[in-house]
Amino acid sequence: MEAITFSQAMAATLVPMHEIDHNLFLGGLGAGGNEALLKRTGIKFVVQLLENTQIAPRFPGITYHFIQIQDSPAENISRHLPDALKFIHRHLKHNQKVLVHCAAGVSRSASVVISYIMAKNNTSFLKALQYVRNKRNCVLPNEGFRRQLEGMNLSTLRGYLRIL
């Protein structure tokens, strides 16, 4: 798989969000902080992965699942996956649109979406990464998140979707 550079990733974030799978959107604050875009797109459910709640936009009529996390290889993103994947799957299952966003839509939120694709499609990290990159080419999980996702047990991830 061809690697992308950091500058390519940053340039690609100029598009606020991309639809990765049916009704599943991935983006940055440009999408999550744009009430008109959320309304126009019909997104009413949002997963936010940000360092603190002060920078987390909130709009009426939208249900949020907030995850406080830094984009650092030392962060444990895997501990947030059960609740995040359940939230995403619950709403997608009812044909509702979900946006997963962090600051840039490159690492934190991309890692959650990749893990969802891994679970839904019963596929490896690399195949899920390529699937997501085909829709949003700026996706670049940090090394710590990448290692955690590569080490995830697929049956455990899939179990989060079956619980509902």
Instruction: Express each pLDDT in 34-84 by its tens digit.
Output: 999 999 999 999 999 999 877 788 999 999 999 999 999 999 999 999 999
pLDDT at 56: 80
Quick one: DSSP state of residue 74?
T
Q: Give the domain range for residue 40.
A: 18-162
For residue 7, tell me if it sits in a domain. Answer: no
Q: What is the number of alpha carbons within 13 Å of residue 23 lying toward its C-beta?
A: 15
For residue 12, tell me if it sits in a domain. Answer: no
Q: Pick the closest to residue 114 from 67, 154, 74, 65 (CA basis).
A: 154
Residues facing residue 99 across a β-bridge? 25, 46
pLDDT at 31: 95
Query: Vertex 110, ends 156 and 133: CA angle to 5°?
Result: 105
Count the domains in the chain: 1
For residue 3, tell me if it sits in a domain. Answer: no
For residue 4, tell me if it sits in a domain. Answer: no
For residue 129, tell me if it sits in a domain. Answer: yes
pLDDT at 4: 61
Looking at the predicted structure, is the pLDDT value of residue 149 above 80?
A: yes
CATH number for 121: 3.90.190.10
Average pLDDT of the chain is 92
Is the distance from CB of 43 to CB of 99 less than 8 angstroms? yes
Instruction: Catalytic residue, from 84, 100, 102, 132: name it.
Output: 102
Does the active-site annotation cover 138?
no
Q: What share of the chain in percent tops pLDDT 90?
A: 84
Mean pLDDT of 109-129: 98
pTM: 0.91
The length of the chain in residues reads: 164
pLDDT at 97: 99
